[in-house]
Structure 1
Amino acid sequence: MTAAMARVPDSLRGQIVTPGDRRYAQLRSTYTTSASPAAVLLPKTTAQVVDALRYAREQRLPIAVRSGGHGFSGASSNNGGVVIDLSMLNRVQVLDERAGLVRIEAGARWANVAKTLAPYGLVVSSGDHGGVGVGGLATGGGVGWLVRAHGLTVDRVRAVEVVLADGTLVRADADHEPELFWLVRGAGAGAGIVVAFEIEAAEQRNVGVAQVVVEARPDGRTVSEWTSYLTQAPRELSAAAVVYAEGRSALMSITAVVAAESLRRARPAVEPLLAIGRVLEHRTDLLPYPALVPTAHLHPNVGQQRGTTTNGLFRDLDDAGARAVMRAVTEPGRAVVQLRSLGGAINDVAPDATAYPHRHQHTMVVASVFPPQGAGALDAAWRAVGARADGAYVNFESRPGPDAFARIYPGETGARVRRLWKRYDPDGVFRPALLTGQPQRAARPTRSAQPAGSGQPHRRRRRPR
């Protein structure tokens, strides 16, 4: 037994992973970042989360919390600190089938949620990859395949169970701890450890899914027509489009999802997308919702998707903005750009109702570069696009810091987030990277936490969380 394990609470025996453990290689890193924590704790119950947090605080080491899925910032792991990994806290329970109320623990992944809810004819709009963890997405926003029809994931949350920095377990909803409830719906990273959500699922069994590939015109017209249509399209339609260089030209690969139970209803919503450029591929199918976020997506996260990502939100992406997108894709640096549809049900919610304040935009633009390209190449590609943005989304930002904070939580929202992070975590136990700009590192690990011993999806189809 290592010195680190000697002080582990009895409730967590066998649930601490250190560098000498064979499980360490699959638990040390995130989807985008390789890391070397001193220990990873794997609680299975809320009581064990409390014990894990108290143990981690006793070590006086940086603490990272991971819901089990992947994220861009790398903040769910660290070097030399303690990671509280919630992946074994993953139960999904239907509380009230008629009302669609479900309880989902933070370590579940959305593929498992979709599979569990399918027999009930229920869905939660929740990201676009089955491997995404519930906790990270459901505290940041939740832009999914049904977002225009059913809103953000945070918009469907009805209650949360949170372990605060002092180890107190709190249930928050609209009537009990309303300030905490407001905070965790959009800015949960600095509030505490959310261990479970009660979410109002929507009735939906099947969806129309169109896969379309068109040539993307260099003058930006294809991008403009995509955004123009999605701004005023029926809210049953949500879509994502990846724009990437292909030799001397560029292509746009579109996935369009219609919240419809028949192809007869789905096809008219998709048809205008076939007129925005020369169609190279097209098919439309009726699929059960879990096919969009399948269990095949459930893989370990070992730093396999290295890259640098940023994003911006737009009320309207004008012609100059569309041309800037195409330059980002085709000029030196060659970013991969994704367009995501917003609006619809998202914009039915008041800007101050949650800590996600962006309720007037219709498009999100996400830009990524991959090794050997780095931050400098992304900055050069993104500059003209980002200058036109009106806000940003926390879950698509790989470089957290004060500048990103100002874009994600502007104005009074940001001031309120800061106040509440301070209220619920006065000692800065969680210290969100959005405030510091740096991942937490251990400068002088205590002896008890020293390690006992001295570890890509295809870019064109890359579907970030």
Structure 2
Amino acid sequence: MPDYGHPLRFGSFISPLAAPARHAVDLAVLSEDIGLDLVTFQDHPYQAVFHDTWTLLSWVAARTERIYVAGNVLNLPLRQPAVLARAAASLDLLSGGRFELGIGAGGFYEAIAEMGGPLLTPPDAVSGLDEALEVVRGIWDVDDPAPLRVAGRIHHVDGPRRGPRPAHDIPIWVGAVRPRMLRIIGRKADGWLPSLPWLQPGDFARGNRTIDESARKAGRSPEQIVRLLNVSARDRADELARLAIEDGASVFILASDDPDELRRFAEVTAKEVRERVAEARDTAGAAGASAGSRAAGAGIGGDPVPASFADRALTPQERGYARYTHSYFRGARPALVLRPQSTAEVQDAVRYARKHREVPLGIFSGGHGLSGRSLNDGGIVIAVDALDTIELLDGNRVRLGPGALWGDVAHALAPHGRALTSGDAGTVGVGGLATAGGIGWFVREHGLTIDHLRSVEVVTADGELVRAGVDENPDLFWGMRGAGANFGIAVSFELDTDSVGPQVGFALLLYVPEDIAVFLQDWGTAIEHAHPSVTGTLMISPGGRQTAVQAVMVVDSDDPDTIVDRLRPFAGLAPLANQSVQLTPYSALLAPPPGTETQHGHGEPHGHSALVRHLDTDVAEGLAELLDSDTSFILSVRSAGGATAAVPPEATAYAWRDANFLVVTLGGGTADFEDRWARLQQHTEGMYISFETDTGPETLARAFPAAHLDRLRDLKARWDPAGLFRDNFYIDPGSNRF
């Protein structure tokens, strides 16, 4: 049998004994301390001497920081699949992606029945496991908009909402020995987890053959399925190494409650197994032929991906790929997704993409994006969503990874009375917004997100890591603040935060204006004269005889009288159909509603953006005309201005500092709509690139003033002359100024 080339992992299999109460937890913490990768517990809820395994897993996950946790294996007849799926996703999210799902058909059926579970025959239990895999996968598949329905005989669901999405692609390992279960593993599971002491000579090899044959019939590669083994302290390192080299085992889990045996396994046995397997792989060329066999299939044009991605490159056939086929509005199907987990791996990914300049390249930071330019069809996507560091530094500074979400940033800063203006949705990723601008709820009071940026680390087009700030590569620092997608992949940001109270004022006002153009002018005047702590966004959908306008407003104050006083000028702008004002933490303001899933787009989005100084007569009448067009769309008018204008226009690549409003449309696209937008555009200046789906030199000329664009072209010629980063408002270093 082959060496499937998976990385070696070593774990512990600890008895969940209830007495002494903390003993199992202490052994789990020890497992992490001595360097094991995984800690597991058996699951027999009918045993009164055992802790409940799920409670124990949750406690251990909270007590540890690095080690993965799993059931070995969870008793499916007593763990209803849909509930189990949600529990697994929750524990994975809470632990930072450290949960693995090991399940089994049950056994001990009379004992299960005594606990109130179904009295199953062995064939029914196997059928139930088959059905349960469909249910669990379906709950996790939040990208599928269809209701989840599984009409199983043992397990069935009829339309529950999918989600939440786990923090990582949770593998499903199945404990099994019999051929029917092994065939199910080949079709549907991610790993086989038998116990070596229970196997007869040759059983493991025969089981592998059954799984591999079933996988191939299902159109899967056998290499997708990890082979795990529970082992005992009597199993020697040379035998475990043989099982890895000849039979493809890659995860060895020691069943022991003896601390000394665990230490010996981690410090002696595991080391010897690793050395033997590494030597055998080198000798046999397995690093290129076995571990690289997946990579060869995953690569572009037959070119294997870098060794650092040999087990993690995603193609359309791999689990986890679907996450990168949808943005907020757009659907895509890249040929290859590389998901770095370190700066060095970002460098590897960039160097690989540079070798394949002929295919599209998208950079995906982890949150939702309206334009969809982070994804592509048939190209490479470098997804940096795993680089989600949120680290509080000395003073008021914070270090963020590009894959962090702004909602999580707000949550981390809240206990310290700090915040960062960062768009209006917590599901936006740090990387895209912090290189484009950042018009958020505190923009009038504290400026743009990029105005808080003090330094950024960037992997440039040649794969080098450079740091940019005021005193180091200042030209690159200038360009990264507003046009960063053109110059590299930002892997770390350092930003200064602002003070914020425990709560802010949050208002929802529903206007029914008689004259929309007059209302827009009055709104604009009120915003421009409002206290800097006040920001607001209008949301308007045309339709019906009278247009309703929803205003979403934030006041940076936790004093109710101050909030009411600063909102008072907005109360009489038009008749109000509804209104509410409340105090809420800023972090809660950015938290998405429960069940919200932002990555669900299909097809191609259509959107426009424009920046305007004032909502004067020409702009207001142009917007009113746009609302009379022959198509459906959403119009958003966001307040900007304020502290944004305190920074000189030439200080950053983002130049439109005197604009008090951002106008955004989502939808439309008809000829009539485009004609009306073109007429409105004559009264605007500049645009905000994150909300624009048009491309081309005319669009680029609206994104940056001429002098800025000249400077950006010079920077592009220096930092990316071959145009590797070209799929997000590409600045051609060789073209003349439009």
Q: Would the TM-score normalized by the shorter structure come out above 0.5?
A: yes
The answer to whether the 8 A contact 1:233-1:269 is kept is: yes
Mapped pair 1:4 → 2:302:
no
For 1:67, the equivalent position in structure 2 comes to 365
Residue 378 (structure 2) pairs with residue 80 (structure 1): yes
Match of 1:417 among 712, 722, 730: 712
Partner Cα separation in structure 2 for residue 343 and residue 187 of structure 1: 20
8 Å contact kept, 1:394–1:408: yes
Match of 2:643 among 316, 340, 345: 345
Q: Does 1:128 pair with 2:421?
A: no
How far 1:5 sits from its partner (Å)?
A: 3.5
Amino acid at match of 2:629: E
Amino acid at match of 1:12: F
1:460 aligns with none
Residue 394 of structure 1 corresponds to which residue in structure 2?
689
Matches within 5 A, 1:173-184: 173-184=469-480
Question: Secondary structure of 1:434's match?
Answer: coil
**Preserved CA contact (<8 Å) 1:333 1:381:** no
* Offset at residue 296 of structure 1 (A): 4.3
Counterparts of 2:711 and 2:312, CA distance in 1: 37
The sequence identity of aligned pairs, in percent, is 37
User: Does the CA contact (< 8 Å) of 1:126 and 1:142 recur in 2?
Assistant: yes
The 2-side partners of 1:400 and 1:111 are apart by 30
Could you tell me how far apart the structure 2 residues matched to 1:296 and 1:14 are? 35
State the Cα distance separating 1:302 from its structure 2 match.
3.4
1:323 counterpart = 2:621: yes
Q: Distance in 2 between matches of 1:48 and 1:159?
A: 21
Match of 1:195 in 2: 491
> Which structure shows the higher strand fraction?
1
* Distance apart, 1:246 and its partner CA: 4.0
Moved more, 132-141 or 396-405: 396-405
Alignment-derived partner of residue 254 in structure 1: 551
Deviation at 1:384, TM superposition (A): 2.6
Structure 2: distance between partners of 1:433 and 1:110: 21
Structure 1 residues 263 and 400 mapped into 2: Cα distance closer, same or farther (>3 Å)? farther
Alpha-carbon deviation of 1:216? 2.9
From the superposition, tell whether residues 332 and 346 of structure 1 become closer, same or farther in structure 2 (CA, over 3 Å). Answer: same
| Match status 1:21 vs 2:318 | yes
Structure 2 vs 1, CA of residues 375 and 88 (structure 1 numbering), >3 Å: closer, same or farther?
A: farther
Give the C-alpha shift of residue 401 in structure 1. Answer: 2.2
Query: 642, 665, 675: which one pairs with 1:380?
Result: 675
Classify 1:63/1:307 alpha carbon distance in 2 versus 1 (closer, same or farther; 3 Å): closer
Letter in 2 for 1:333: T
Q: Which structure 2 residues correspond to residues 260-409 of structure 1 after superposition, within 5 A?
A: 260-296=557-593, 299=597, 301-303=599-601, 307-369=605-667, 373-374=668-669, 376-409=671-704
1:116 aligned residue (392, 403, 412): 412
1:207 counterpart = 2:500: no
Q: CA deviation at 1:365?
A: 1.3
Change (3 A) 1:386 1:349: same
Q: Out of 412, 435, 453, which is 1:139 matched to?
A: 435
- Range that drifts further, 114-123 or 182-191: 114-123
> Where does residue 26 of structure 2 map in the other structure?
none
| Matched pairs, number | 432
Amino acid at match of 1:240: T
Q: Secondary structure at the match of 1:170?
A: strand
Q: 2:447 aligns with which of 148, 151, 154?
A: 151
Matching residue of 1:428: 723
Q: Unmatched 5+ residue regions in structure 2? A: 1-292, 733-738
Moved more, 318-327 or 82-91: 318-327
- The amino acid of 2:704's aligned partner reads Y
The separation in 2 between residues aligned to 1:208 and 1:300, in whole angstroms, is 25
Between the aligned partners of 1:233 and 1:304, the Cα distance in structure 2 is 40
Shift of 1:176: 0.5
Contact 1:333–1:380, Cα closer than 8 Å, also in 2: no
State which of 342, 349, 358 in structure 2 corresponds to 1:52.
349
1:436-447 counterparts in 2 under 5 A? none
Aligned AA (1:328): L
Letter in 2 for 1:28: T
Alpha-carbon offset, residue 25 of structure 1:
1.6
Q: Helix, strand or coil: the match of 1:33?
A: coil
- Partner of 2:188 in structure 1? none
Q: Tell me the secondary structure at the aligned position of residue 183 of structure 1.
A: helix
In 2, distance between residues paired with 1:304 and 1:236? 37
- Residue identity matched to 2:524: T
Which of 323-332 and 356-365 deviates more?
323-332
- Give the Å deviation of 1:207: 1.1
Bigger-Rg structure (1/2): 2
Which deviates the most, 287-296 or 299-308? 299-308
1:164 and 2:460 aligned: yes
Q: Name the CA shift for 1:62/1:304 in 2 (closer, same or farther; >3 Å).
A: closer
Alpha-carbon distance in structure 2 between the residues aligned to 1:321 and 1:107: 37
Deviations 1:72-130 (A, max 9, x none): 3221111111100011110100012xx31000000111111111111111111001111
In 2: Cα distance, 1:222 partner to 1:304 partner: 35
